[in-house]
Amino acid sequence: MADVIDLKSKAKDRIYNQFPPLGRNEVPQLYEIKTIEDKRENIDEYDVIFWHRLLKTIYQEPLEMECELHVRNQAIKNPETAILRRLDEKSKWQILKTTEETAIKIQSGEIKPFPINWKYFFKLPSGGIIEIGTKDQHTVLYFAHVVSGQVKDEDSKQAEKFISLLLEEAKKEASNKLFDPLKEFKKTDGLNFYQLFNVYRANYVSAEFMLGEAMTQEKVLSDEFLKYDARTSDLYDEEKRNHIDQFMLACGMYFSSAITYFFMSLEGFINIVFHSFLKENLRDRDLNIEQRFDIEQKLKLMTALCNGFIQKSADSTADIYSKFLKLKKYRNSIFHSKVEDSLKSLVIIEDGFLYNCDVSKYKEQFLPAQKIMLSANDVIEVKNIVDGIIRLVLNSMTDDTRLLTEKYILKSTHIPFYILKDGSLSLGKSDRELNENNHAQQANPADGE
């Protein structure tokens, strides 16, 4: 039986051997860097965290970290920074570019270093040095030559080869899912913090903007619709008839869009609240409640399945539910476009007499089925119902839960979630708590200079 060859490990070994890392005492004291733009587009295809992980699999930890220095329990607007250089002993760091007094405070724990950027140094076979690091709070990756003058041609060629080898390895590791954010979000392994884009607020703001636009734009559409009179010979002019039809079909689109956005904002609100406060014992992946339950079920069961709710009276729950069903029925009529919802008129012959009956007068409907019949008042009525449902949900919450919901779900553009050490989910930790928890234990400095 043939031996199994781990090609991936051999490839990484080859990269390491051809382009080994610099030791901590080999980094020049003074130098300039010349940014390398070769294969920039290919490099940027991968996230910075992907490169962080890839380089760690080949070279272990970065040689240097740039850290912000935070005094415990003090908020500092523009904190000082220091460089921490890795020592041979695991999790030990040498403190550079700071005062002796500050270094002592870091070692004692009075000052906490929070990593903001990382940096590797590599030897080229030609004798040159390559720096790979991050900037702008580890959001941007760069490759650069470390120089004290001009870049040598041989160094440039070797750097291109190095980058090509890393990109080849990156391609392999990408297929191996070295970094798959959606998978990691579902597993939450190693995940400390994430943000949700606030779809509730985005759709609510869009609805209000659309209603504002409707006040002028619907008048434009209506005037164009009435430009020609279908009761006259205009009806037999094909061009005029097409104009009438076109604007008849367009009328009401701003009102309808505003109503749709308001409903989508309500759906977003319910989904976010459910995600934020669902009881921990119900977050089991096998149960998959968040995916399995529809909006109607979430709204109906929210007080029972979520933390931070007061069990309200049956009448209060029924009030929320009846308001929601009214909106849902109208939403379904728009989105599903069933024939009976589109039925406009019936032509009936009775004893030789032809009758054209407007069916809409005989339908029990919350809003007109045809959007041309919509008005600003209809949109405002939907807005009031959405606001009312949200208000009823807020009134069902404990004070703490309501304050969190108002601050982060009703007002924030991005909603912060923090995963605690016990695996539970916390909505909206304070910035100080977030920073301390996110960066805790990432830097353990020793032997300060």
Residue 113's DSSP bridge partners are 69
Token duo for residue 15: 């990269």
Measured CA to CA, the distance from residue 55 to residue 62 in angstroms comes to 8
Question: Could you give the dihedral angle defined by the CA atoms of residues 37, 40, 41 and 43, in that order, rounded to the nearest 10 degrees?
Answer: 180
- Residue 271's pLDDT is 94
Task: For residue 366, give the DSSP letter.
Answer: S
Which of 208-212, 252-256, 328-332 is modeled with the greatest confidence?
208-212
Token duo for residue 203: 């759709």
Question: What is the value of pTM for the model shown?
Answer: 0.65
Indicate whether 250 pLDDT > 80: yes
Which residue would you say has higher pLDDT here, 39 or 184?
39
Distances in Å between the Cα of 20 and the Cα atoms of 13, 120, 202, 381 are 10, 10, 49, 68
Indicate whether 158 pLDDT > 90: yes
| Mean pLDDT value of segment 242-254 | 83
What proportion of the chain, given as a percentage, has pLDDT over 90?
38
3-class SS at 59? Answer: helix
Q: Do residues 375 and 388 touch, judged by C-beta distance below 8 A?
A: no
Which of 116-125, 280-289, 310-319 is modeled with the greatest confidence?
116-125
Average pLDDT, the chain: 82
Q: How does pLDDT run across 398-435, given as a tens digit for each residue?
A: 999 999 999 999 999 999 988 877 777 888 864 444 44
Indicate whether 186 pLDDT > 70: no
Q: How does pLDDT run across 63-97, given as a tens digit for each residue?
A: 999 988 888 767 677 888 888 888 877 677 888 87
Phi and psi at residue 69, in whole multiples of 5°?
-105, 115
